Chains A and B, each alone.
Chain A
Amino acid sequence: MKAAEVILEALKREGVDTIFGFPGGSVIPLYDALYNSDINHILVRHEQGAGHMADGYARASGKVGVCFATSGPGATNLVTAIANAYMDSVPMVAITGQVSRHLIGLDSFQEADVTGITLPIVKHSYLVKDPTTLTRIIREAFHIASTGRPGPVVVDIPVDVTKEDVEFDSAVLPAMRLPGYKPNLKGHPKQIRAAAQVIAAAQRPVIYAGGGVISANASDELRELAVYSQIPVTATLTGKGCFPEDHDLSMGMLGMHGTPYANYAISRSDLVIAVGVRFDDRVTGKLEAFAPEAGFVHIDIDPAEISKNVVVDIPIVGDAKTVLPALLAELKKLDLSFDRRREWTEQVETWKREHPLAVKEAENGDIMPQSAVKKIWEITDGEAVVCTEVGQNQMWAAQHYLCRHPRTFISSGGLGTMGFGFPAAIGAQVARPDALVVDIAGDGSFQMTSQELATAVQYGLPVKVCILNNQYLGMVRQWQELFWDKHYSQTCMECQPDFVKLAEAYGAEGYRVEASTDLEGVLRTAFASDRPAVIDIRVKREANVFPMIPAGGTIHDMMEREL
C-alpha cells in the first residue's frame, strides 16, 4: 500500500472522520489518497482556519482535531493555530507535508523547518524519515495529543515518504514506544484525604475551576462535589460551562473582567480549591494579593502547573475525572454537616445582589453590546454553542452568555487569538451538526479570518456570526481610554467592508441591525435560517468592559462600572 493511504488508514483507526486542510505540492500524494477515501475533508481558505477549525472541533466534541497543510508556507500558516491549541491544551494532530528527504536542509523550494519552528508550541512533534514508522508515529501522536494534559502534536512528513510502498495490516496495531511518557492519572490517596480534611474545616471555601475540568470531562463530578459540600464555584474563561452558570452556587467568571462577587469571594476565601487551572495572570492579577487569606488545594494533571505561580498547600496530581469522585468519597466519610457554611453562601448571595453585572441601556436607543449578548442568550435559551473572537466581544460574551454545559463555550484564552472564533465555530458546527453555533465576534477579529465564509457556505455549515460592531479595536481602545490619555492610536478602523454585502458575496446571509428594537427580530430570522449568516450589530461605539481589575492590580483596584 502507498504510505499516503497508510496514513489515512491509520487516521481512521484513531476514529478520525473529518480533516480540515489545504493542499499543496508536498501533500499531493496525501490528497490523492483522500480522493478515494471516505474521510471527510473540509477545504479551508487559509491554513490558520484549518488549525482553528480542528481546534473548535476538538473542543466541541472532545475528540482529537486533525488538520493538513503543505510544506513551507502552508505549514507556517498553521503556526498561530498550533500555538493557540497549545496554550489552551487542546488535543490536535497537525500533519504537514515536507520536502523530500534528500532536499531537507538545502533551503529547497517551500522548505521550512516546521518541527523547529513549532518546537516551543507543541506537546510533541515528529519528522518522519522512515515510512515503516508511520503507523506507530500516528498512533503515538493521537495518544500523546489526547492523554495527560492534552495538546497539539505535529507530524511532518516528507513527500517522498508518502510515495513509498509499505506494508499495512489493519489488524495489527503497532506498539507504541514512549518510555518517557507516563501521565499520572490517579491522584495520591494521602493528598486526597488531606484535601478532604481542609475542605471540611474551611469556613469560606471557593472552587476555582478551569479548562482542565472540561478536557477531563469531569463536569458532573465537579458539580456533585460542589453541591454536596455547598461550595460556590467560579470558572475561568476556558472553564466556562464546566459548572452550570445558572446554578445558585455559580459565581460566573473571575479575574480581570470577572464578576465582582467571584473576585470578592476569592479575596475573602479561606480555602481555594483549584481544579484544572493554571493561575494565569489574567485571573490572579497581582499574585501576592490573590486570595490573600486562603490556603490552596490544587488538582491538576500537569505536575508542572503545581506551585508554578502560586505556592499551594495540598497539590493533587491526577485526572480530575478520578480525583474529584475520590475526594467526594473522602468528604462523605467525614460526615460533616455543611450547614454551618450558610453564612458564607449567604454572603456570596448578598454580593451577587448588590453587585450584579448590570447593563445600563443607552438613552438614544443605541444597542449596548452587553444587551446584544443577553439577547442572543435569551433567544437561544443558553443552549447554543458559543464561540468568541478576542477583545471586548469576548469578555461581554463571557460575562453575559451563561452556559449550562461543558464544551459549549469556545474561546481563545491563553493566546488570545483574534480570528479564532469564526473558524472554531465552523469546526464546532462540524462536530455538532444539529447545534446552533454562534460566533460572538468583533469587527476587527472577524476580518482576520472572514474568508472562511466560503468554507461555511461550501459545506453548508450554518454558523451565525454576530459582530458586535463598534468600529474599533475596542479592547485596545478601552485600554487607551483608561490608561493612555485617550490616544486612540490605530484602533479606529476607518474603513470597513460592508459586512452584509461581504456575507452575500460569499453566498451567506447578511443582516444589519442599528436599533435595539430590531435586534430580536433579526436574530430570530438569522438563527432560524439553515444557511450561514453574518449579523452586523452596530453597538454603542465606546462602550467598555466592566468590571475591570487593571493588569497586575488587586480587588481594591476594581472599576465596577462606566465612570
Chain B
Amino acid sequence: MKHTLSVLVENKPGVLTRVAGLFARRGFNIDSLVVAETESAAVSRMTITVEEQDQPVEQVTKQLHKLINVLKITDLDPSGSVERELLLIKVKADAESRSAIMQIVEIFRAKIVDVSAEVLIVEMTGTREKVSAFMELLTPFGVVELMRTGRIAMSRGKRAT
C-alpha cells in the first residue's frame, strides 16, 4: 500500500538529507518527494509517498519523529485528503495531430502553455491516477519528455494537515 506522509520540518540546511537518508537506511524506497516552504518561512513541508513493503510505515514514522528538526508527521488517509500532482509534458504535434491533442487537453482540463512548430507543452494537474491516464492518452502522439512534480496532499475539512 502507498502512504502519503506530510512532514513539517524546520527549514534548515541538511534537513532534507536527514529525512531522505533515514528512509534509505530503514529500507524504505521513496516514490516521490516534494519540499517547499510553508506559510511560515521557518518551516518547510515535505510530502513523501512511500510504498509499504516488508515493514509497516509506522517503523519509519517513529524514526522520523526522532529527528530533532522534524516537527510533525501526518500519515494522510487518501479518502480524507485532497491530493495533486503537476505534470508538464512536451508532445509532438503536427498539423494533423494537433486538434486531437487539443481535444484531450480540453477533456482533462489541462492547459497548453507553449506552442512551437513541432511540439506543444501541456500543463496538467490532478490526482496521480488522472495524471497517469492523461499521459497514456498522449503517448501515441510521441512524447518528447515529461516531468511530474510528485504528490502534494492536504487533509480535508477545517483541521490543518
A127 CB contacts on chain B under 8 angstroms: 13-14
Name B's A-contacting residues (CB within 8 A). Answer: 9-10, 13-14, 17-18, 21, 25, 59, 62-63, 65-71
B10 CB contacts on chain A under 8 angstroms: 179-180
Binds B, one of A114-122, A435-443, A459-467, A486-494: A114-122
Contact of A180 with B62 in the complex, beta carbons under 8 Å: no
A181 CB contacts on chain B under 8 angstroms: 68
A315 to B20, CA, bound (A): 28
Name A's B-contacting residues (CB within 8 A). Answer: 115-116, 119-120, 123-124, 127, 144, 178-181, 302-304, 306, 308
Closest Cβ–Cβ distance, residue A119 to chain B (whole Å): 6
Residue among B21, B25, B62 making CB contact with A303, cutoff 8 Å: B62
B70 CB contacts on chain A under 8 angstroms: 180
Closest Cβ–Cβ distance, residue B84 to chain A (whole Å): 27
Closest Cβ–Cβ distance, residue B156 to chain A (whole Å): 26
Contact of B65 with A124 in the complex, beta carbons under 8 Å: no
Contact of A303 with B65 in the complex, beta carbons under 8 Å: yes
Which residue of chain B lies nearest to A120 when distances are taken between CB atoms in the complex?
A: B25
A123 CB contacts on chain B under 8 angstroms: 66, 68
A505 to B3, CA, bound (A): 62
Most buried by B among A116, A119, A180, A306: A180
A119 to B13, CA, bound (A): 13
B18 CB contacts on chain A under 8 angstroms: 119
10 contacts across the A-B interface (CB closer than 8 A): A120-B21, A123-B68, A124-B67, A124-B68, A180-B9, A180-B10, A302-B66, A303-B62, A304-B63, A304-B66
Contact of A308 with B59 in the complex, beta carbons under 8 Å: yes
Contact of B67 with A180 in the complex, beta carbons under 8 Å: yes
B66 CB contacts on chain A under 8 angstroms: 123, 302, 304
Contact of A144 with B62 in the complex, beta carbons under 8 Å: no
A144 CB contacts on chain B under 8 angstroms: 68
Contact of B59 with A180 in the complex, beta carbons under 8 Å: no
B21 CB contacts on chain A under 8 angstroms: 119-120
Closest Cβ–Cβ distance, residue B70 to chain A (whole Å): 5
Closest Cβ–Cβ distance, residue A120 to chain B (whole Å): 6
Contact of A304 with B68 in the complex, beta carbons under 8 Å: no
A338 to B156, CA, bound (A): 53
A116 to B9, CA, bound (A): 18
A120 to B27, CA, bound (A): 13
The 7 closest A-B pairs by CB, nearest first: A304-B62, A124-B68, A180-B71, A181-B68, A180-B70, A304-B63, A303-B62
Closest Cβ–Cβ distance, residue A185 to chain B (whole Å): 15
B59 CB contacts on chain A under 8 angstroms: 304, 308
A115 CB contacts on chain B under 8 angstroms: 14
Contact of A178 with B63 in the complex, beta carbons under 8 Å: no
Closest Cβ–Cβ distance, residue A540 to chain B (whole Å): 42
Which residue of chain A lies nearest to B17 when distances are taken between CB atoms in the complex?
A: A119
B71 CB contacts on chain A under 8 angstroms: 179-180
A297 to B53, CA, bound (A): 27
Closest Cβ–Cβ distance, residue A483 to chain B (whole Å): 27
A127 to B18, CA, bound (A): 14
Which residue of chain B lies nearest to A144 when distances are taken between CB atoms in the complex?
A: B68
A120 CB contacts on chain B under 8 angstroms: 21, 25
B25 CB contacts on chain A under 8 angstroms: 120
A180 CB contacts on chain B under 8 angstroms: 9-10, 67-71
A303 to B68, CA, bound (A): 14
A123 to B14, CA, bound (A): 14
Which residue of chain B lies nearest to A302 when distances are taken between CB atoms in the complex?
A: B66
Closest Cβ–Cβ distance, residue A98 to chain B (whole Å): 14
A274 to B139, CA, bound (A): 57
A181 to B69, CA, bound (A): 8
Most buried by A among B10, B14, B66, B70: B66
